[in-house]
Amino acid sequence: MSEANGIRDVAAKPAPVPDTPPVAAPLWIVPEYMREILDEDPAAAQELVELYFADAAETVQSLTASMLLADARSLCDLSHKLIGGSRQFGVPAIAAVAEAIAAHAMQGDWTAMPSSIARLQSTLLLLSAEVNSKLDA
């Protein structure tokens, strides 16, 4: 760091991105609207769940492709899509991992990207089992 004309010049080194938080149970915090659908129309609830998982799986594939191309913009866009959908669906753990992926991309931290995407995939598998057990109950 240097000071010139009373202005502090800070190197443009990004702050480190924390590791993604550990997965805590329950993964699915069922939103109120979903509880109502579960009570009134279980088939519609199942359809919403299937749509979420199909979209999430497609997004993970796209994230992986973007990682291989080192396409930071695409990684950020896809991560934010997953963050919004996951928050709406009641899955903050998925949103947190997607936030870490976006942060890694913005900072150009390509070494952390594969483990974050793997964590996203494993968290989605755990989530799927949890959601299915709640729907089957």
Q: What is the DSSP letter of 25?
A: S
Helix, strand, coil fractions of the chain, as percent rounded to 5: 70, 5, 25
How many angstroms separate the CA atoms of 90 and 84, rounded? 10
φ, ψ dihedrals at 25, nearest 5°: -95, 145
How many angstroms separate the CA atoms of 133 and 33, rounded? 19
| pLDDT averaged over 10-residue windows placed end to end, the chain, 137 residues | 41 47 69 87 90 95 96 97 94 94 95 94 91 81
This prediction's pTM: 0.78
Closest CA to 90 of 137, 19, 18, 38: 38
Return the pLDDT at 136.
Answer: 79
Domains of the chain from N-terminus onward: 41-136 (1.20.120)
